[in-house]
Structure 1
Amino acid sequence: MTTFPVRIGVQLQPQHADYPAIRDAVRRAEDLGVDVAFNWDHFYPLYGEPDGQHFECWTMLGAWAEQTTRIEIGALVTCNSYRNPELLADMARTVDHMSEGRLILGIGSGWFERDYDEYGYEFGTAGGRLDELGLALPRIESRWAKLNPAPTRKIPVLIGGGGEKKTLKFVARHADIWHSFSDLDTLKRKLGVLAGHCGDLGRDPSEIEISVGTPAGDPGEVGPALLEAGARLFTVGLDGPNYDFTTLAKWVAWRDTL
């Protein structure tokens, strides 16, 4: 049985901010003791001014790889539809080397229709996008096995989403980390579904690290129930332009009491 340490992540949402503010926020997160810094993979803000400032995900991760020395980095999550799987595998391998083995490949099927329309991708259906994700994951793994130089380590794959018939089956087969966007009760139920898929594949579900977004409230009050359910990676979402670390600092301090 695998036991994961409690970790704290931050999602520095790359919207409504000048890049120097984002660069400074990554530095502050590493200095604070945060374990993982995520951005997200969109082309327009998800809330606030819809045409506000926004930056691209993977070029930013390359900059973070050079800027930081300890913290893991990744997208929460990459949209599978926006890049050929072989290209994405190569990009991830490159950032893995740039960061000396600190990249997490976060990936999901995609959902933000404006991104698709504005950038010329076919939006299709939710089911179709999930099917494409299922086809992409083994192609990414296959490409990693062919690249020269190879990745510095087995790049951890984080899959985000909670679909019980497809997404959680992909998690059982391919993921090192599952990120749930669910509330506590839903998380517990979906973990049961995930365990069932793992059983079908002969995989121990304890091998998969459970990742959640932090709920509102004091970490000492809301964190223990998530811990008991199985969560180990807790990520605080922060929006630009100022990236207020007040809540993030509380979660780091809570981690350090465990």
Structure 2
Amino acid sequence: MLLDTPVRLGVQIQPQHATYPQIRDAVQRLEEMGVDILFNWDHFFPLFGDPDGLHFESWTMLGAWAEQTERVEFGALVNCNSYRNADLQADMARTLDHISGGRFIFGTGSGWFERDYTEYGYDFGTAGSRLNDLAEGLQRVVDRWGKLNPAPTRDIPIMIGGKGEQKTLRLVARHADIWHSFVTPDELGHKLGVIDTWAEKEGTDVSDLVVSNELQRRDQSDADALFDAGVRLFTLGWAPSEADYDVIAGWLRWRDAKNGTGSAV
């Protein structure tokens, strides 16, 4: 677990219930404010609110962000492995990496939103079968990165979301640079111990693993507890149609205080 990395703030711009100009303007303003990473999510329909409301596709949007932005890292929180051939995912990720000059993060997971599967014609399977597919897909992604010409500009960071101890955390130990979850501070120590155990069995080194967690519906005391437990990447789900930039500014001040680059919050 990497504790000496600076605290970073990632904002997940929800690609729902907003026009694309609203999303584009949010990307520009959040980069100017100093947010470290911008995320969207990989779904085809809104996750809450009007189920048939406005919604945009993830990877196409990320291509626009790669050109629009200059400094921030970006990616999906998280990509659904089921929706695209694994080798295609690798090629898309490599292309975004080049467009952005090496700022793309490959966040991925096994998928869970059944409506996406049924309406777009994917086999929903079971939670276990989707995790098995993710394990196979991740290896194919990594292998394809080693074959593409031109190669990626850097070792593209892999971010894996989830907390299941038998399959997901084993994949974290095997592949991840960043582990994202919603677990509480009290749970983190145990989960990190599980990752360490899997890393020993896999023969991998997780000493540089960055721990990521979510801030939405949490306050500063919660964030402090997560920080003390080892979290260094904090993500915040955020609605561009509401455009509450004061919330972002407050968390940026908290980040800077933790990094010793700003006044105490």
For the aligned pair, the TM-score class normalised by the smaller chain equals over 0.9
Q: How does 1:13-162 map to 2 (within 5 A)?
A: 13-162=14-163
C-alpha displacement of 1:196: 1.4
Per-residue CA distance 1:10-53 (angstroms, 9 max, x = gap) = 00010000000000111111011100000000000000000000
CA distance in 2, matches of 1:91, 1:108: 16
Question: Residue 180 of structure 1 contacts residue 187 of structure 1 at CA under 8 Å; is this kept in 2?
Answer: no
In the alignment, what sits opposite 2:205?
A: 204
CA distance in 2, matches of 1:95, 1:236: 23
* Normalised TM-score (structure 2): 0.94
**Partner amino acid for 2:243?**
Y
Residue 146 of structure 2 aligns to a residue whose secondary structure is helix
Question: Residue 9 of structure 1 contacts residue 35 of structure 1 at CA under 8 Å; is this kept in 2?
Answer: yes
Per-residue CA distance 1:56-115 (angstroms, 9 max, x = gap) = 000000000000000000000000000000000000000000110000000000000000
Question: Residue 12 of structure 1 contacts residue 243 of structure 1 at CA under 8 Å; is this kept in 2?
Answer: no
C-alpha displacement of 1:228: 1.3
C-alpha displacement of 1:246: 2.3
Residue 257 of structure 2 aligns to a residue whose secondary structure is coil
In the alignment, what sits opposite 1:237?
A: 237
Residue 207 of structure 2 aligns to a residue whose secondary structure is helix
C-alpha displacement of 1:217: 4.3
User: Over the residues paired in the alignment, what is the CA RMSD in angstroms?
Assistant: 1.3
CA distance in 2, matches of 1:168, 1:137: 13
C-alpha displacement of 1:195: 1.7
Per-residue CA distance 1:148-203 (angstroms, 9 max, x = gap) = 11001000000011110000000000000000122222233212211211222333
> What residue ranges of structure 2 are gaps of 5+ in the alignment?
259-265
Which consecutive segments of 4 or more residues in structure 1 shift more than 4 A?
A: none
CA distance in 1, matches of 2:192, 2:113: 26
> What residue ranges of structure 1 are gaps of 5+ in the alignment?
none
CA distance in 2, matches of 1:170, 1:134: 7
Per-residue CA distance 1:190-233 (angstroms, 9 max, x = gap) = 122112112223333321100100153442x2222111111000
In the alignment, what sits opposite 1:8?
A: 9
In the alignment, what sits opposite 1:165?
A: 166
In the alignment, what sits opposite 1:250?
A: 250
Residue 207 of structure 1 aligns to a residue whose secondary structure is coil
Instruction: Point out the more displaced range, 232-241 or 184-193.
Output: 184-193
**Partner amino acid for 2:75?**
G
**How many residues were matched structurally?**
257
In the alignment, what sits opposite 1:223?
A: 223
Shift of the 48–190 alpha-carbon distance from structure 1 to 2, 3 Å rule, reads same
Question: Residue 37 of structure 1 contacts residue 73 of structure 1 at CA under 8 Å; is this kept in 2?
Answer: yes
